[in-house]
């Protein structure tokens, strides 16, 4: 009986030492992360984007899901001109910072488009828009993107869909009339009258 009691005490001591050392490591990690985040920000201010990227990557080695580190890394990549890598970081962030998922996916699609990945960007914008067809701002981005790529059919589809929710918006009506004219839609004259 006494041996078991001593054995139990020994296990408790080992676990308490283990947990206290983990707590110390976590505090050290927090301080190191904080220092690296400040360092990364200072590098960005000094326009030393390669150094900023390195600092933020170090943060992510310590804590892979560190939101501030991911935002910093995405920003550093954008400022360095590497939109593709920034888009990948933003996509990772959208899965971690779920409260901002919608706006992060918008940013992700914009970065894709700006980096030349047009089809992937359009698909992402379209899928996101389908989750919230009331979002006029996103609809306009999507419409304009389709128009830039001369896809009048898709631009018209999105424009008339968002019109259901924003039927009093004169700018939107004018945009639809313009798309109907450019796309040579049968109802182009009706939209032109409505747009006056």
Tens of each residue's pLDDT in the chain, 196 residues:
444 444 444 444 434 333 333 444 477 888 999 999 999 999 999 999 999 999 999 999 999 999 999 999 999 999 999 999 999 999 999 999 999 999 999 999 999 999 999 999 999 999 999 999 999 999 999 999 999 888 999 999 999 999 999 989 899 999 999 999 888 888 888 898 888 8
How far lies 67's CA from each of 7, 96, 129, in Å?
43, 8, 25
Domain ranges of the chain: 1-81
Asked if 139 and 159 count as a contact pair (C-beta separation under 8 A), the reply is yes
Class of domain 1-81: mainly alpha
Chain-centroid distance of CA 109 in Å reads 8
Among all chains, which residue has been given the structure tokens 């896809």?
151
3-class DSSP state of 133: coil
SS3 content of the chain, % helix, strand, coil (to 5): 85, 0, 15
């Amino acid at each position: 009986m006494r041996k078991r009691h001593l054995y139990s005490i020994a296990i408790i001591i080992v676990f308490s030492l283990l947990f206290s050392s983990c707590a110390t490591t976590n505090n050290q990690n927090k301080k190191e992360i904080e220092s690296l985040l400040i360092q990364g920000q200072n590098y960005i201010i000094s326009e030393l984007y390669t150094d900023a990227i390195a600092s933020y990557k170090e943060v992510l080695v310590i804590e892979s899901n560190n939101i501030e580190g991911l935002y910093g890394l995405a920003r550093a990549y954008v400022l360095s001109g590497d939109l593709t890598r920034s888009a990948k970081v933003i996509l990772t962030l959208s899965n971690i910072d779920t409260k901002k998922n919608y706006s992060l996916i918008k940013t992700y699609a914009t970065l894709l488009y700006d980096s030349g990945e047009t089809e992937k960007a359009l698909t992402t914008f379209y899928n996101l828009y389908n989750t919230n067809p009331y979002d006029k701002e996103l609809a306009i981005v999507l419409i304009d993107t389709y128009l830039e790529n001369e896809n009048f059919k898709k631009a018209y589809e999105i424009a008339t869909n968002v019109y259901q929710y924003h039927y009093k918006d004169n700018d939107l009506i004018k945009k639809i009339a313009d798309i109907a004219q450019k796309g040579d839609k049968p109802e182009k004259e009706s939209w032109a009258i409505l747009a006056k």
